[in-house]
Structure 1
């Protein structure tokens, strides 16, 4: 490829903040998908992931959409998403990372991916990375043609409107707001932006743990919530502990180890074909060699965790341990305690 900005490029990153900052910023919705820097040189299109992986083979239909919407020679930073029933669906997006080309093609037809553009790094022979963000955005808006599956993200310089987006757009599957210095250059790999993400708490059942790769200490807690049918569903993990705390947890959890022969909702469960309940132990498509075994605990211990977003019936990311809740009965830890955002049509996010 003959471009002024050549692949690979590490995307510009964001640091976290508790609330929408004020100042000389442009604000954008925070899209929940796969970060991607697109390099186009005529018929050549490369989709570069944040980790340097080439994503083009997983999204063949998106390559064609980008050829229709982008200039002949450009480099664009953005996010790959999948839209299902007027909201983002990260599970359907993750399904696309599959080794079988036939499966990828089937999903490309059933749930085509879209690209949300939010920065322009190069156009024709111009390297724009040193230009102020306001100028890069103006050039991006002018450069991207209207297309069903390629969009330029909305932006505003009004922090009050950004705060409104933070509250409303979650119902369409977005997970917060990003603030970018309006006069700032594009800084690959640096945390030059500010992100504000939703954060809530929930009381969950600790029904097992996985060992840490370094030795016989706790790697992550296995968290569960009860459905209305009384079945304990696996909703994710909690793993942000110091090494000293991991060692302490081994002793704290020892009294709850599952006795041999005692039943457990996640052990030896006949869950083939059961799509209603979630259990740990499925293979990881990103790392097929990952050890998914765990040590089962009697489902009696309750802890409070912080989480940012619910994806279907599980936490989108690992929960962050807050404290033990000895005052809570495990059976009372159900999905009903979770706050569900009001539905919001993604078309309104695209078209406002």
Structure 2
């Protein structure tokens, strides 16, 4: 009776009927304690439905409170800001020749072309691709329905895709060699090694970061044969690729026996070249970064890429505007009160972009 009387009074005061209805229901529920859990459940269900329409699901209300007070978002790059499908796009051989690679994603569709636009043909290029296919733990194959199936590390799959584009099926290469020993890639070592036997000879295939592999290279392969390594030239090539946003892998090989290696990158090696890969940015990330900026939230990108590679991606997203905004993992570890242990930062070699 009290609810009905009060609803009538409010209605005569000119309030909208919809608001009066909800007022009467609220009064009735408050008068009956047993109905409170039901009312709360209905209210929460309605709110959850509204949030789900915006692609948000919350299990604990404290998470919403924390999100509301957020001023900085630290985001991983690979798989979060990017689609996590590395694609080989450029190759630079030790003699300075550069090749472009067409095609996107984890497929064998595309081709390798030289500066003149013609299909690539090079002894050194073949050695580079072959080495990358042998020192590889990924799987990539085309099914009968035309779809490509893949499994393994993103960089390994990118190399397998490159093999198909070069007309060098990975299975053909692998079937002709016998694997003797392997050191898988890790963020601590920053290189991967495979010892194998081919035609009675014990060989080695190595891929990884330039700063780890280059010190062990004594020669570099060209189409005219081996010649003494020129570190400054190779570092310039690396700079050229990273400044364009590529993630760069160094490929090297030679003759070696696993029993004679006592850990660490093998030496001596012969450099075969550099390959630049890029992980496409997710289309929706551009708007997400812009909206965060407009809301007063700074974005920090955390990645294990080379500083120049990471900066190129951050600049494209509008996260960074100057190379002065980059800080390496070892530099951050040296700051007193760093939020991450120095040991873990040195192992990972991360680059972190701090907003200016």
Give TM-score, length-normalised by structure 1. 0.24
Larger Rg: 2
Structure of greater relative contact order (alpha carbons < 8 Å, 6+ residues apart): 1
Which structure shows the bigger proportion of residues in strand conformation? 1
Give TM-score, length-normalised by structure 2. 0.24
Which structure shows the bigger proportion of residues in helix conformation? 2
